[in-house]
Amino acid sequence: MRSEGKLLREAIIVHYYLGVDIGSVSSNFVLMDQYGNIREKVYLRTLGNPVKAIKEGFAQIKSRQGEQLDIRGVGTTGSGRHLADVLLGADVVKNEITAHAVAASALFPGVRTIIEIGGQDSKIIILKNGIVQDFAMNTVCAAGTGSFLDQQAARLNIAIEDFGDYAVRSRQGIRIAGRCGVFAESDMIHKQQMGYPAEDIIMGLCEALVRNYLNNVAKGKKIEEPIVFQGGVAANAGIKKAFEKVLNSQVQVPEPYEVMGAIGSAMLAQEQRAQSQAPGNYRGDDFILEGEFKSSSHECKGCPNLCEVVCIKRNQEILAYWGDRCKKWENSINRQDKLQVI
Amino acid sequence: MKVTFPHMGNAHIPIKALLKGLKLEVIPPPPVSKKTMELGVKYSPEFACLPLKVNMGNFIEAIEAGADTIVMAGGWGPCRFGYYAQVERDILKNLNYDFRMVILEAPDSRLSDLLKQVKSLGENVSLWEAWKAIKFAWYKLNAVEKLERHFEYYLPRVVDKDKVEKIFDDGLKNIDQADERKEVHDFTNICLKKMQEQPCHNQPVLRIGLVGEIYTILEPVTNYHVARYMGRLNAEVTRSIYMSDWVNDHLLGGWIKKSRHAEIINCASPYLNYWVGGHGRETVGYTVDFARKQYDGVVQIGPLTCMPEIVAQSVLGKVSEREGIPCMTMYFDEHSGETGIYTRLEAFIDMLQRKSYLQSSFSTPIGVDNKFVL
């Protein structure tokens, strides 16, 4: 009976929630149905052009589904979350910490520690009974993050996808300095010229990055099991192994590790839509697919701050301004909406 | 003689009043802008902390606007600030600027010393006139702070945040231009009344303590307006440092009003028992104080490489754990990407909001069913 009920429910028209995570390196999209199933996930490189990435990501989801999608809510996160909001019309625009925590505690109830390493930033989130208790993000140095790994893989002429496998093959990692990306690189070059095998050097690098993370990001926070490791770098089996070795605990990597932020924001969008009576903000498929988006910037001469004001346009219509400290430009467009939200 | 001084938040309002009272022509530096930062960064040692760079920018802009005398505070102790005035003077001399620098050393508890220093600054002013100038400046300072405190209270509560910001900024401008005690009094009251009349929402308001290094706390440009940002997210921010407390404790020896300084120092024990320079011990003490007053969280701010704050930060972890108050530390330097700062603040506020929401509704989220109530 139950399964029949479920089947019946699935036969009823489904509606969807879209989660978008625009990061420095990757742009991720998730299409979630109202039962919390992930129907579609897209992982793209941002390649310095978030507008294009958003458009392409959405187009991919749309073409794979091949039907009219009933999108009831949109959530955006990542450093490009405001841009994604303008282009798609988001119901929730949230920081990455919250998004990642929501997703991880939905997939791993009872999770205590989330290790998240992305392209430019890395964070640690400590939870208790499903509530975020404490978190930290890297501040000044990006040595332990995906960009650095990318760069080293390119230097060794190894595809980044295979980088982790190399590390795992190693029996004994070589000691590499982990405090600073520049030191790490010069150590690696030195060791490579001495003739150490590439596998051991890469494993050494993984261990160095883990030490860097624990010293700079985790900074003495109590890391307790269950531990979840997510973000783009979680693809690297070497880093996972190094974490397990250094922490002497088991580290779990969720299957959709690279789109956890997007999943979290889709869930937040669903939560928000369930609470609200107002119609959703989603601007519609055509808005994003058909429009020609252009951004331009100019220096505002209103005061000595000389803010660089960015203007986002769709065809000829101005969608948003930002970048001005006094909010003169920003408020010229969205002031009414803002007041309504409050 | 055309006098200038460095900016520190709204301190320019009372300082200007003081110098004017000493019959000096005052040329305050233009408000801290991107240009100020650029100038400061260009002519300062790279490893110096942000306050020195902003000071340098202020001085250069003020000299170019016609100032020929710089009044700068001195100091002593482990914080690098003690050398600032001298370093800045040498750099400006090397840039071939023609000026005179007057360094006011903190007299620490001898009021007569301060009066003498202030009097010697003025041209042909009697001791009585100097005294009157100090009193008027003190009055203005208190008026400014009254506005600041009310602004901190109303910003998280009102519906229209832009409007209340505008009221506050206009109020400050009016106080700055007022020449009479009566005018200051009236402008303050008008501004307070306007703030009180703003419609408020009934959503919960968090209380956040802002602790850390004095300059970063007082000069909002150097902290990227963290207080306003948190206020806009419905969090009421209480600072650990208000200018009048500092003047009272350090220049007037606690003479003019009741000081909580000793109490705060006591709070820092047993976590930090030594004076580590700057406001390191106060940071720890105030964090404990905020925790005991049931604040929701504490944000510590300081310029990058600030030694006293680094010492305090290393102790805050323990404080946070034992006193049960979430703490977050942020360091600032010249960067224009504000997103990173606001992401962290938003996440911090979000965490506290969800926590207090759950505590108030007594529900314990367990497992997947409650996955949306993080």
Q: Between chains, do A110 and B201 touch, taking CB under 8 Å as contact?
A: no
CB A145 within 8 A of CB A152: no
Q: How confident is the model at residue A5 (pLDDT cuts 50, 70, 90)?
A: low
Same domain for A126 and A234, yes or no, is yes
Return the pLDDT at A342: 35
- Please judge whether B366 and A304 are an interchain contact, meaning their C-beta atoms are less than 8 angstroms apart: no
> What's B280's domain CATH number?
3.40.50.11900
Q: Who's near B314: CB < 8 A, 6+ residues apart?
A: none
What percentage of chain A exceeds 70 in pLDDT? 92
**Across chain B, what does the average pLDDT equal?**
86
Q: Kindly report the CA angle at B59 between B53 and B60, in degrees rounded to 5?
A: 90
Give the H or E element holding residue A43: strand A38-45
The closest CB to that of B34, out of A131, A270, A305, belongs to A305
Count Cα atoms within 13 angstroms, Cβ side, for A235: 18
Q: What is the CATH number of the domain that holds B67?
A: 3.40.50
- pLDDT range class, residue B55, cuts 50, 70, 90: very high
Same domain, A115 and A235: yes
pLDDT (average), residues A96-115: 90
Domain holding A272, by residue range, is 1-108+256-290
Residues A103 and A31 in one domain: yes
> How many domains is chain B built from?
3
Distance in angstroms (rounded) separating the CA atoms of residues B115 and B96:
32
Q: Which residue has the higher pLDDT, A268 or A129?
A: A268
Q: How confident is the model at residue B244 (pLDDT cuts 50, 70, 90)?
A: confident
Residue B336 has pLDDT above 80, yes or no: no
Residues of A in contact with B31 (CB under 8 A): 303-304
Number of domain units in chain A: 3
pLDDT for residue B190 is more than 90:
yes
pLDDT (0 to 100) of residue B198: 92
Span B25-35, average pLDDT: 89
Q: Kindly list the residues from chain B whose CB atom is less than 8 angstroms away from the CB atom of residue A267.
A: 371-372
Residues A116, A88 share a domain: no
Is pLDDT at B329 greater than 60 in this prediction?
yes
Q: Identify the pLDDT of residue B298.
A: 94
- Cβ contacts (< 8 Å) between A129 and chain B: which residues? 364-366
Which is more confidently placed, A251 or A334? A251
Q: Give the side-chain half-sphere CA count within 13 A for B93.
A: 8
Q: How confident is the model at residue A148 (pLDDT cuts 50, 70, 90)?
A: confident
DSSP state of B158: B
Confidence band of B369 (pLDDT split at 50, 70, 90):
very low
Give the chain B residue whose CA is nearest to the CA of A121: B340
Q: pLDDT at position A3, please?
A: 57
Position B362 pLDDT exceeds 50: no
pLDDT tens readout for residues A106-133? 888 889 999 998 877 888 999 887 788 8
* Dihedral sign of CA atoms A94, A100, A101, A107 in order: positive
Give the Cα separation of A179 and A185 in Å (integer): 11
* Same domain for A337 and A313: yes
Beta-carbon count within 10 A of A81 CB: 25
Nearest CA distance, B160 vs chain A (angstrom): 7
The dihedral sign for the CA sequence B312, B315, B318, B322:
negative
A105 touches chain B (CB under 8 A): yes
The answer to whether the Cβ–Cβ distance between A97 and B304 falls below 8 Å is no
Q: Do A306 and B304 touch (CB under 8 A)?
A: no
User: What pLDDT is recorded for position A7?
Assistant: 60
- Res B335 pLDDT > 50: yes
A129 φψ region: left (φ > 0), alpha (ψ -120 to 50), beta (else): left
Instruction: Write down the pLDDT at residue A9.
Output: 56
Q: Please indicate, yes or no, whether residues B97 and B144 belong to a single structural domain of this protein.
A: no
Residues A156 and A237 in one domain: yes
Which residues from chain A sit within 8 angstroms of residue B373, using beta carbons?
Answer: 130
Task: Using a CB–CB cutoff of 8 Å, tell me whether A217 touches chain B.
Answer: no
Domain residues for the domain of B19 are 2-123
Residues A88 and A180 in one domain: no
